[in-house]
Structure 1
């Protein structure tokens, strides 16, 4: 494989990572509602989920999802419902906190990590995209397994960097909102973004 093929793949991966989607909106939601540490933990969870999704793609699950509209729809709606419920719970917690005149409790980093592992793993578009995208860069004169592993690792690292950039930017903005009342509205914004991520997942094709 020529180096320019890998570079082209890395550039395309960066472009994909920079386009806001359900993963980015969930990370931004954690940043706004719970701060930088939780947001970065969610980035790590998304990276692990991407690794699992890519492994499933290379194992043939992507071909199954691409061929079965029902399987794709089940995973899509399950992921969408999960994000919407999480966003609603965040809004409920912030509302209760406002009624008690205390700062809303943020989501813990461990919970954000595990939530985004699930989101990254079961987001069907990642699986279908990878199984249809990577073969365009595979060359016949080299090992398929080695090339697939390299492209998978490249995608995860590049998208992890773009996700981290979103997390840091959003958490920096949220960090400026220090007053308890403002923090509650920040968490409400985070819950709204998580719901938006769920809607984006549900309406994806």
Structure 2
């Protein structure tokens, strides 16, 4: 892959990664609830999901999934239902005053590293738009005269690196919000905002068709 092509791909990948989708919202709200480290740990689940999608695309299965209306609908509705579930769960999260006044860590129980990563993984893997993007986006930067495998590997690693930087950025934004949470009431509002946005994302995903997914 030529350097200029890689630079162009990197910029496009960064722009795609920065879009405020469900996973980026999760990273931001995890940062606000539990801190930047928790947002990074949760983001590992997202990166694993995207890595698997990139491998699927590289193997050519992405084209098959993109062409299958049934597969698209199953993934789409599964993802939409899961996002709505996460939103409702956020609304219902128990909030208690911490033992130490002003300590935002005590407002909600930490779900644990595995739970954070699993939530981000399922959110990412349940979004069929991602695999459609990989299927339509990556081939545009392939040099037909070069070896297919190494080029796809370079793009895959680059995309994952950009995604990692973006999720840390959203986590840092959330971390700044965390410093403003001084009462259980503030945390309840954060949970309600988070839940409402996730429910809205689920509804939007349910209304998405394959044509709009690739736009």
Please give the range of the TM-score, normalised by the shorter of the 2 chains. 0.7 to 0.9
**2:73 equivalent to 1:73:** yes
Out of 74-83 and 28-37, give the one that drifted further.
Answer: 28-37
Any gaps of 5 or more consecutive residues in structure 2?
A: 97-105, 210-215
Structure 1 counterpart of 2:37:
37
State the distance in 1 between where 2:47 and 2:31 align.
16
Deviation at 1:106?
Answer: 4.2
**2:114 equivalent to 1:110:** yes
* Number of equivalent positions: 201
Structure 2 counterpart of 1:160:
164
Matches within 5 A, 1:1-205: 1-94=1-94, 97=95, 103-205=107-209
CA contact 1:23–1:197 (8 Å) conserved in 2: no
Deviation at 1:200?
Answer: 3.2
The superposition leaves residues 61-91 of structure 1 with CA deviations (integer Å, 9 ceiling, x where unpaired) of 3112221122111101101111211221121
CA contact 2:72–2:128 (8 Å) conserved in 1: yes
CA contact 1:103–1:181 (8 Å) conserved in 2: no
CA contact 1:25–1:197 (8 Å) conserved in 2: no
CA contact 1:37–1:109 (8 Å) conserved in 2: no
Any idea what SS the aligned residue of 2:93 has? helix
State the distance in 1 between where 2:48 and 2:28 align.
18
TM-score (normalizing by structure 2)? 0.84
CA contact 2:36–2:168 (8 Å) conserved in 1: no
Any gaps of 5 or more consecutive residues in structure 1?
A: none
TM-score (normalizing by structure 1)? 0.88
**Structure with greater proportional helix content:** 1
State the distance in 1 between where 2:134 and 2:126 align.
13
